Amino acid sequence: MHYFGWRHEHIGKNNSRQNILSLSLSAMACSSPLQPRLLSSFLGDRRLMQSPNPLLSCKRGNKNEAMQLTRTLCSLVDLLFNKRNQDELSKVKRKRLRPGKVSPRLKVPDHIVKPPYVNSRQSPGIASGPEIHDVGGVECMRASGKLAARVLEHAGTLVKPGIKTDEIDKAVHQMIIDNGAYPSPLGYGGFPKSVCTSVNECICHGIPDSRELEDGDIINIDVTVYLNGYHGDTSATFLCGNVDDEAKKLVEVTKECLHKAISICAPGVEFNRIGKTIQNHADKFRFGVVQEFVGHGVGRVFHSDPVILHYRNNEHGRMLLGQTFTIEPMLTMGSTHPVIWADNWTAVTEDGSLSAQFEHTLLITENGAEILTQC
């Protein structure tokens, strides 16, 4: 989770950080564009700040107005750039997602160490301060990142028409506990599963259920493991069967956005360069960049500072040597506005357009950024 590329709510500098890490969603039947719910894998504007789901808000102190202006300008650019895509979407004959049946929560052996939030339905919010590690901490981060990458790779091999997302969850869960780790999403703010499976128009935080994957689907699988007291967080979007060229292009460009952003990371680099890099590349292909969900610090806690915005912004803050955080851009073919289902987690595009996402956990080193979540 990114894990979740989580939804965020706002964080004030004075310790009054509101739980931002929850992902909310209003059911398809009763889905509504995020009204007062907060939405982001971490970031959101004023109307999202009241969400009961805590994810990561990015408004910080007096920077609010500048942030709002940035978001407004980005929305205007999004409207202009995606007009063609909106027209093309009207020709697409693809069934909208509907909630399936969610099976009971899977069990974790008692001997496996669990993160502190597991026994509480309240999301812990985003922790103040960056995750910076000594030599021992770096090795622990490498271990958790490597396991997360292996689990994600295995999950990807399961993607085929006819498999249920619930089956993917069971396979992920078993592989994680077999390796002595805990599936970080399970029990986070009441999340009922061990992995997020976001199909087609689902932007993020999809709950595995009884729905079978269909030929032509795309699916993001978001894996986070808690191993030896450290979280490793990663996700990728996979193709199911015969996927059309436009969907393939969306997935390809989203992956490129992530790697272009990673390439500019190094000690002293401003975090706002990440959003500029991602938005510039997405704009070339007229894809939208979701603003309500963000990247985040990760390590001993699931979500911490800094909040990573994936769109153009003027936020301050620079990368530090030994710091770990995620970058997890979400791109869409049409509307970038999320609607939350009644399960309070599943976020889907307002117009039903496809969405793709990729994510890595990074370590800032003297030579740039080391990707911790790759095999």
Residue list for the binding site for a divalent metal cation:
222, 233, 296, 328, 359
**CA gap 123, 269 in Å, rounded:** 30
Nearest Cα neighbor of 42 from 114, 98, 159, 125 is 125
Q: List binding-site positions for substrate.
A: 205, 303
Is the preceding omega at residue 109 within 30 degrees of 0, hence cis? no
Q: Which residues contact 145 (CB under 8 A, 6 or more apart)?
A: 232, 234, 361, 372, 373, 374
Q: What are phi and psi of 300, to 5 degrees?
A: -70, -25
* CA dist 295 → 52, 58, 163, 274, 342 (Å): 20, 11, 29, 10, 24
Q: List binding-site positions.
A: 205, 222, 233, 296, 303, 328, 359
Nearest Cα neighbor of 213 from 156, 161, 157, 154 is 161
* CA dist 81 → 163, 335, 339 (Å): 35, 10, 21
Nearest Cα neighbor of 349 from 195, 167, 216, 218 is 218
